[in-house]
Structure 1
Amino acid sequence: MRTIKILHVASFTGNIGDNASHLGLYNVLKTVLGDRLDIEQVEIRRFYKKYSLADKMNFDLEFTQKANAKDLLILGGGGFLDYWVPNSETGTTFDMSDEILDKLIVPTLFVSVGCMPHQPVPEGNIDKFHHFLQKVGSKKNMRIAVRNDGSILEIKRLFGSEFEGIITEILDNGFFYEPSLKFSCRLLEKPYIAINTTLDQLTMKNRMIGNINYSQLREELLSLLQRIIDETDYSLVFVPHIFKDLQAFRELLEGMNDFYIRSRVAIAPYLQGNYGCNYLMSVYNQADSVLSMRFHANVCPLSMGKRTVGLAALDRVVHMYNSIGKSSDCIPVNEKFADKVYKKMIDISPNNSDTLISERKVQSLNTYMKLLSEIGLLS
């Protein structure tokens, strides 16, 4: 069997959730295409307009030549179809002209991508996005599969049924992440709850959840964590996905009793890349339960069968829980939530959506095989 050469454009640095998603993607590709894969990773940030280092790239003729020398081009996963990007040909991170799209003759997948914009959308961007979807949909060598974060509903909201049968939904690739056998990182001997909280998401736009009051959020989180410490034997382990999460942890813990911080709180190390991803996902896997705000801080523990409660500051987290039949385990943070989350943390049953997740994983694998066949990579 020949080696399949793949060019993978995505975010590989700065957020371990992205790494988990990509490791999940590679598990999918090995299942569908076999083990003989030669994957070249290209960091998406090198294409950003504000990127100024010497290795900057553009979606230009040079890129098409590089991509066309491969057997498969994969773009994603991530929120790269969020159509708020100013001065982009497509309104998205994929700033590609029609000329460039036409010159890409390599089988191409835009997979596990999201289009739930969290910034103001410039005038004209919806039209640009619409044209991009039409253009990709018309090409025999290109397919789009959005992740289960509400993106398929957003496309229907914008364009009705136009893209039904053309753009499909799959589980986020993070659901295919598997814990590394090399890591067994239980940070504490005592039972603990793994926690991820954020700051950066609080200023992002949401259609469903709306604006978040930071002072109220902090007050509710402190009330919740204090009650867990007072009424249970659980310790608290905070897990950073990006550097700014450490700031969120600090601002939260500054309001907690110092003795409790010394005796009942730990913070996992800030690590990046695949090593950091596997290490920190093991911290989640060794936890008794998980309380998370970030998208992949929910996806990955759920995929590992952990008892997980989502604190939703973003609509995409709500949509993800809805898509796997666990809407009651996701609590929006735009209201008082401490009592509700505490009861959920204490009473939550083991992951009762395993069956639905398993069914959707099979469906997603079948979708991958279908798309790869349609673009000519599988016979």
Structure 2
Amino acid sequence: MEKIKALHVASFNGNIGDNANHNGFRKRLIETLGREIDFTNIEMREFYKSWNLRDFNSDDFIDLCNNHDLVVIGGGNFFELKWDYSHTGTTINIKEETLNLIKTPILFHGVGCDIAKGASQNSIEKFRLFMERITGDKNILVSVRNDGSYETIQKLYGNLFDNKFYRVPDGAFFMDSKKYDFPEIKNDYKSIGINVVADMKEIRFNSEVKGFISYENFINGFAEELNELLKKHENYQILLFPHIYSDLSAIYDLLEKIEDKYRRTRVVVSPCLTGKGSEEYIFGLYKECDFIMGMRFHSNVCAVAQNIPTIGLCSYKKILDLYREIDLNDRVIEVNKYGFKSLLREEIENTIINLEKIRNDYKRVNSNIFKESIEFYDAVKNWYITN
């Protein structure tokens, strides 16, 4: 049986979580279709105005799509409605005329829909027209990821698109990681993994809103709790995980506040890796940790997916939405609000005491996530066969 030639438009050299997403999605897609798939990767950033290397509406892109058996767009946060210049209000700046010229089946896989950074009425209307076009085309199958995106679309358009697209688990829930001889691991200590971020400070830490704190207050408070943790639990080291280059700034800020006797002996920073295979190393290193405290979406997904206990550090709505959607509301703390320190301190102690119970809880959650995903992947198979 011939291989399927698939064109995959997504982020491959940005946030390492995207690589985990593609890792798990491709595994499930190959299993579902029962065929080998030869993927051609196209970096989504090449279509961004800031890079300006490709154009969705060019003859070159249309021909590229039509020379493949399947086009996949996503996953990624590409239904972010903040781009007024775009024909769709999103980073997928594609015209209806272009879609009419693409004869290859198009799968929008697990795309995130986000209005937290703002969305103009112009973008909202453009996206409505775009959704009407792609959900009404038998040659196109649309899905959004389980991070509150479905509810965001309902909030914007009511029941207009009910039952016209799928809500799917992020592909990273099905990823595979690998075990290496990790130099970051010290046999003298157990490890706690942490991912902190410094991007979108004005959104994550808007201290002008009542009850919310600044980024600086968060860093100071978080460092105080980590110093206390290391003092109380002498058998632990901290392993800091950057998922993208900007996380290194947050790591630096945090390290500045960690007591010198700890940061020189019991704090390790993992490599900042990108590209294919990087997720196998970094999320393999996650598995060496007793638990993970993460701010990024995929820091939480990739830990939960591997039955690693988590404390979600929420400074952005999608983290709360994720834990709500997978029914783990008690595993997340809003660290951008006053009073987070005492809640975090209590949850750290609770987690250390109940590691095995939490692992078993996550096994049940992952079993349910897999079962829920079967409907979508069966739909993809039937859709692809009939196209």
TM-score range, shorter chain: over 0.9
TM-score normalised by length of structure 1 = 0.94
Aligned to 2:40: 40
SS at match of 1:129: helix
Task: Give 1:346 deviation, angstroms.
Answer: 2.4
Question: 1 CA distance for matches of 2:108 and 2:127?
Answer: 14
TM-score normalised by length of structure 2 = 0.92
Unaligned runs of 5+ in 2: 352-357
Question: 2 CA distance for matches of 1:212 and 1:84?
Answer: 25
Question: 1 CA distance for matches of 2:270 and 2:280?
Answer: 13
Question: 2 CA distance for matches of 1:276 and 1:118?
Answer: 29
Aligned to 2:377: 368
SS at match of 1:350: helix
Aligned to 1:218: 219
Task: Give 1:356 deviation, angstroms.
Answer: 2.9
Question: 1 CA distance for matches of 2:43 and 2:203?
Answer: 24
Q: What does 1:278-289 align with in structure 2 at a 5 Å threshold?
A: 278-289=280-291
Aligned to 1:267: 269
TM-superposition CA deviations, 1:132-164 (whole Å, max 9, x none):
100001101101110000000001111111111
1:202 paired to 2:201: yes
> Quick check: 2:205–2:214 contact (8 Å CA) kept in 1?
no
Question: 2 CA distance for matches of 1:49 and 1:79?
Answer: 16
SS at match of 1:352: helix
Question: 1 CA distance for matches of 2:110 and 2:205?
Answer: 20
Task: Provide closer, same or farther for how the CA distance between residues 163 and 206 of structure 1 changes in structure 2, counting only shifts above 3 A.
Answer: farther
Unaligned runs of 5+ in 1: none
1:316 paired to 2:318: yes
Aligned to 1:3: 3
SS at match of 2:264: helix
1:148 paired to 2:146: yes
Question: 2 CA distance for matches of 1:252 and 1:201?
Answer: 17
Task: Give 1:35 deviation, angstroms.
Answer: 4.8
1:162 paired to 2:160: yes
Q: Which amino acid aligns with 1:221?
A: F
Aligned to 1:377: 385
SS at match of 2:282: helix
> Quick check: 2:111–2:143 contact (8 Å CA) kept in 1?
yes
Task: Provide closer, same or farther for how the CA distance between residues 144 and 209 of structure 1 changes in structure 2, counting only shifts above 3 A.
Answer: farther
Percent of matched pairs sharing the same residue = 31
TM-superposition CA deviations, 1:333-358 (whole Å, max 9, x none):
12121221222222233351322322
Task: Give 1:186 deviation, angstroms.
Answer: 5.5
Question: 2 CA distance for matches of 1:223 and 1:378?
Answer: 58
Aligned to 1:343: 346
Aligned-CA RMSD value: 2.1
Task: Give 1:195 deviation, angstroms.
Answer: 0.4
